[in-house]
Chain A
């Protein structure tokens, strides 16, 4: 090859790099490893990473069963090692799969159409707010405080330089958006109201009532859905203008937080303001049905600084996992799956309420609930860890006013015996804390 090019050594090809910047030494990184060593190294790391623990964590990342056909199919090289389907004739597989994804997401969310995916639920929600600003020509966003706190943080980052002021609306004793406060917050400058349902505490919002408040003032309603499995049994937010969903629950591994699969769905009239890739149906010159990426005039590679978003890469392979999951469970299975989640959660919340306070009982919930204890949940959790149980997420960091509260989650994979064991341990610690409190005044008196 050197001869063909007409050079004597590969080094000559690097001559354009000024000599003072050419590395003379090896990089100081780990030495080359054999495949067996690589596998071994990562298996060791897995052992240090909660392997074999039972978990009650949710909060935007849910542990559902992943049918084995998902990995069998997404590991086909034709899906795994293909690029974005810009050359449609050579990428019909990916394009048709995206078209089916868009269709199923539309069906599930009750929207007219959906895009090919966004990075995740948090960035999807932020992009939805910027979309609402473009659609309405207004600037302010009204945000529910019971939206996932990290989604709110991401929105803050995105909104800072877009000059989108935000108003936060708090929640009532049932954990749902305070409608009276919302009514006061929405005005003629409100571009959108952004809520989550089921919200961060797991309770289901009255989307219809919230939509009415938003629409009355000409604002759009954005509903963020972090737990997609709820759509099997909970009425979708049909009154919303944009749904920003995290679809991780549908066959995507927890994977320590990513990659996940965000997706935006909306009404037909807003499609040209929607960011992200879209697959559309068309025909070839022989009239045969085929699919292409379309409406690209919204996107950065055509519009550059005038694009609807700078987004380029999406989550195609993860969206394919989601598609396969939705296809496996389908019309009936998604409902039955959601019912099991609901039943486990009702059982767990009932058991917990015998020993501690389960907050926000006033509204229906899906698969999460908040337990308030006498003891600090961090202390409880560290005791549970000794039994290889990961307890609920302590909420102090995000909602200090809730005190010793933690967000617990059950899915179809949470067994009754796991629930009973966790409840038993929490009950034990609550009893001992209460006994100590009873004893204390006497001790002081003495």
Chain B
């Protein structure tokens, strides 16, 4: 490659090799020490009989420095927000403030037991109550549960409540309408709750086709699951008409809050006709993604759905203290043990405190500004299938580059060499070869410029030497992996005899 295409953001660097932890293990190495036992020793054989375990198989035996080096070396093979822009559309990879991590580890909060008496749980309850109040204000809804462990479980909870609501009206109804631009969890969730899924076509502007909705809407429809802004980053301008169409026939409007980062402090779903929605604290409210979790997916609802919230809910008691209410006969039940991913509540609330009303508004404005700056920077270089105004993310397609045989995934892999994490490639399904880019508010102008420069440079490479892009990434410690072989003959664990050294 010519120096013209050298990236300004990244350069090659020594990367440590590291085997599997099992390959470093040898008998006698240890990183643990227990205090002397202050009660009599027990005869485990006598106590447990045939239930006594004699051998722990291939569990590792390593020293502390080896553990530190092992996981530190592994960590250096990852890309992360802390290293740079992570423009995964609809995933909202924003900065994860360190104060969140600090306060989540304060002793009384980190070591609080879920079953300790309410009298000594007032701190945790106050955190749940304050976060709930803030989220209700942000969404414009009436009641909330923090219990769902992630966005998909939030969807499940929301649809269970939709179903319980309709059942209480005497008819559970049969199906859920889902736009063809929706995230894959939406149809999977509807099926889990026992609803048939009916697709709803988008119009030429990438929005819900209101005429089609009017035609498809009838008394068999329990709800419409809409994402707003949708996965094209486009605000559903006719959202209130959509809500009216639903409501006229007794249906409910469900909003997937994945893209709430475009709306916080600027517009409230509760004001534009949404009946039930989930939030992703790990997207909009800065709790870390941690390589794939933990998430947290609170569900906010309008008043008529409140009786169906999972148990327990946090209430203020007559004496002013907080407590859990379990006696809720119409509740859909529990969706997980205890009260949800409490550690994420702490982090999300710390984020809300750090921002305040003005900060949250500026955050949203910056997120939308950054997305539009990227859009402007790449317009013309990449095909824009829908030129409808963008909110917090922009979706291009690989139409121009695929003429040279280069697809969105190839462009994404080449972007890795430029020191950026790829954008989202897998959806929306309505854009073949999508490049879904969400910069978030966290990115400074300099980083955005580097990204635009990298994308333009890759587009030039496609014209000059498409094969070079097809062979990317070139600078990672491993090249493209054989995913077909991985699925055909799955090796899902290490075994001494199959180890490839």
CA distance A204 to B185 in the complex (A): 38
Q: For residue A323, give the distance in angstroms from its CB to the closest CB of chain B.
A: 8
Q: For residue A381, give the distance in angstroms from its CB to the closest CB of chain B.
A: 7
Contact flag A55-B113 (CB < 8 Å), given A93-B76, A327-B31? yes
Does B329 interact with chain A (Cβ within 8 Å)? no
Q: For residue B120, give the distance in angstroms from its CB to the closest CB of chain A.
A: 4
Q: For residue B107, give the distance in angstroms from its CB to the closest CB of chain A.
A: 6
Task: With CB as the reference atom, state the residue of chain A lying closest to B482.
Answer: A282
Cβ–Cβ < 8 Å partners of A256 in chain B = 109, 112-114, 121, 124, 338-339, 342
Cβ–Cβ < 8 Å partners of B111 in chain A = 50-51, 63, 253-255
Cβ–Cβ < 8 Å partners of B346 in chain A = 42
A89:B123 contact, CB within 8 angstroms = no
Cβ–Cβ < 8 Å partners of A83 in chain B = 86, 88, 91, 93, 289, 291-292, 421
Contact of B60 among A82, A89, A151, A330 (CB under 8 A): A330
Contact flag A258-B342 (CB < 8 Å), given A77-B82, A157-B160? yes
Task: With CB as the reference atom, state the residue of chain B lying closest to A27.
Answer: B357
CA distance A429 to B106 in the complex (A): 34
Task: With CB as the reference atom, state the residue of chain A lying closest to B486.
Answer: A282
Cβ–Cβ < 8 Å partners of B310 in chain A = 157
CA distance A309 to B336 in the complex (A): 15
A288:B121 contact, CB within 8 angstroms = no
B152:A313 contact, CB within 8 angstroms = yes
B341:A304 contact, CB within 8 angstroms = no
Does A362 interact with chain B (Cβ within 8 Å)? no
Task: With CB as the reference atom, state the residue of chain A lying closest to B377.
Answer: A4
Q: For residue B44, give the distance in angstroms from its CB to the closest CB of chain A.
A: 6
B48:A234 contact, CB within 8 angstroms = yes
Does B12 interact with chain A (Cβ within 8 Å)? no
Cβ–Cβ < 8 Å partners of A299 in chain B = 184
CA distance A18 to B365 in the complex (A): 16
Contact of B337 among A14, A121, A344 (CB under 8 A): A121
Q: For residue B442, give the distance in angstroms from its CB to the closest CB of chain A.
A: 11
Task: With CB as the reference atom, state the residue of chain B lying closest to A287.
Answer: B500
Cβ–Cβ < 8 Å partners of B116 in chain A = 50, 53, 55, 57, 390
Complex interface bits, A211-243 against B, C-beta within 8 A gives 1, otherwise 0: 000000000000000000001111110000000
B266:A14 contact, CB within 8 angstroms = yes
A343:B41 contact, CB within 8 angstroms = yes
B338:A150 contact, CB within 8 angstroms = yes
A316:B290 contact, CB within 8 angstroms = yes
Does B1 interact with chain A (Cβ within 8 Å)? no
A233:B494 contact, CB within 8 angstroms = no
Beta-carbon contacts under 8 Å, A388-423 to B? 390, 393, 412, 415-417, 419
Q: For residue A193, give the distance in angstroms from its CB to the closest CB of chain B.
A: 19
Q: For residue B195, give the distance in angstroms from its CB to the closest CB of chain A.
A: 8
Task: With CB as the reference atom, state the residue of chain B lying closest to A297.
Answer: B487
Contact flag A333-B30 (CB < 8 Å), given A41-B353, A46-B107, A290-B481? yes
Chain A to chain B: the 5 pairs with minimum beta-carbon distance, closest first? A32-B356, A317-B290, A257-B338, A46-B108, A77-B82
Can you sample 25 A-B contacts with CB below 8 Å?
A18-B237, A21-B267, A22-B266, A28-B357, A29-B352, A31-B357, A45-B123, A49-B109, A87-B413, A151-B337, A157-B335, A163-B194, A232-B56, A255-B112, A256-B339, A271-B490, A283-B482, A291-B481, A294-B490, A295-B490, A302-B184, A317-B292, A332-B56, A337-B32, A347-B40
